[in-house]
A and B are shown apart, each in its own frame.
Chain A
Amino acid sequence: MSQGIQVVGLYVRDQDEALEFYVEKLGFRVHTDVRNGDYRWLTVQHPDQPSFQLGLFKPGPPVLDEATAQTVRAMVAKGAMPPLVLSVDNCRAAYDRMLARGVEFTQEPVDRFGTVDAGFRDPSGNGWKMIEAGR
């Protein structure tokens, strides 16, 4: 596929911390990690989804002025950013695995009409739903 969405970015408070979380705790892989001065372009990938990258970006200069960056940091920390959804084969197994690795869950797995979903946050405050679709 040559057309489609390639990168969607999240704002994170600390890129090293985010990298550790998405790679070590969620099992993603680093796609690109390049620096240019203080700026760092960092993207990760789900191992089953090679055409999509999740960007882990730190709000701040030179892209955002300091006052705007502060507002963005507050929004992320308050959980005010849009929802994210991770699709899994087995929600309960993924929950057990991630919990053992120290992921902060906001909702234990719940059965809803054949689908099972749980909720967790990344260290910055971005909220994820983890959903196992019904068979």
Chain B
Amino acid sequence: MSGVPAPQDPDLLRRLLRAKDRMDAASHEAWPVARLAQVSGVSEAHFARSFKQAFGVPPHRYLLTRRIERATALLRDTDQPITDIAFQTGWESLGTFGRTFRDITGESPRAVRERARAVAQDPGRVPACILGAAHRPDLTIAVSEKRRQEAGDITRPHPKEV
């Protein structure tokens, strides 16, 4: 048996894409292989193998990454409690959510939220007018200092700076 699998039939790929689209559209729903296989019109045994060959990841892992992606966006962009986000993105328990989240992202949901908020407070988010004032060049003093030095040069010449 060759190490390179035979190319997949485009009609099969188009039907597998339909299953992927359905997971994208409703990643919070349960997607057992039987349901996905039905969308694609193939047997359950055939589905998981074909999906992985087509898209590079097993269907279940694809679904988990889409859920984590959505949960990450909600942690960052909303103030919803983490428990609500877990249930809203399709997990049946907070424990499973936290564990899977850490497995995939390497961080806890809380850490991701806290980091997102810390970033939100960096100077990049300071209103432009305030930031402009804070970073305004100290021109008045520099000009007056320059003039004073120039005046000093005239009345009291000193060695050239090296």
A residues contacting B by CB (< 8 A) are 13, 70, 73-74, 76-79, 104, 106-108, 121, 124-125
B residues contacting A by CB (< 8 A) are 7-8, 10-11, 13-14, 16-18, 20-21, 24-25, 54-55
Tell me if B25 and A77 are in contact (CB < 8 A). Answer: no
Apart from A13-B14, A76-B10, A104-B18: 10 A-B pairs, beta carbons within 8 A: A74-B7, A74-B8, A78-B16, A78-B17, A79-B17, A79-B20, A108-B25, A121-B21, A124-B14, A125-B17
Q: Which 6 A-B pairs have the closest CB atoms?
A: A77-B13, A77-B10, A77-B14, A73-B10, A106-B21, A79-B17
Tell me if B25 and A74 are in contact (CB < 8 A). Answer: no
**Chain B residues whose C-beta falls within 8 Å of the C-beta of A125 in the assembled complex:** 13-14, 17
Interface secondary structure of A, over-half rule? mixed
**Chain A residues whose C-beta falls within 8 Å of the C-beta of B13 in the assembled complex:** 74, 77-78, 125
**Chain B residues whose C-beta falls within 8 Å of the C-beta of A107 in the assembled complex:** 24-25
A71: nearest chain-B partner, CB-CB: B7
B54: nearest chain-A partner, CB-CB: A78
Report Cα–Cα, A125/B10, bound state, in Å: 10
Mind listing 27 A-B residue pairs with CB under 8 Å?
A13-B10, A13-B14, A70-B10, A73-B10, A74-B8, A74-B10, A74-B13, A76-B10, A77-B10, A77-B13, A77-B14, A77-B17, A78-B16, A78-B54, A78-B55, A79-B17, A79-B20, A79-B21, A104-B18, A106-B25, A107-B24, A107-B25, A108-B25, A124-B14, A125-B13, A125-B14, A125-B17
**Chain A residues whose C-beta falls within 8 Å of the C-beta of B25 in the assembled complex:** 106-108
CB of A67 to closest CB in B, whole Å: 9
CB of A95 to closest CB in B, whole Å: 13
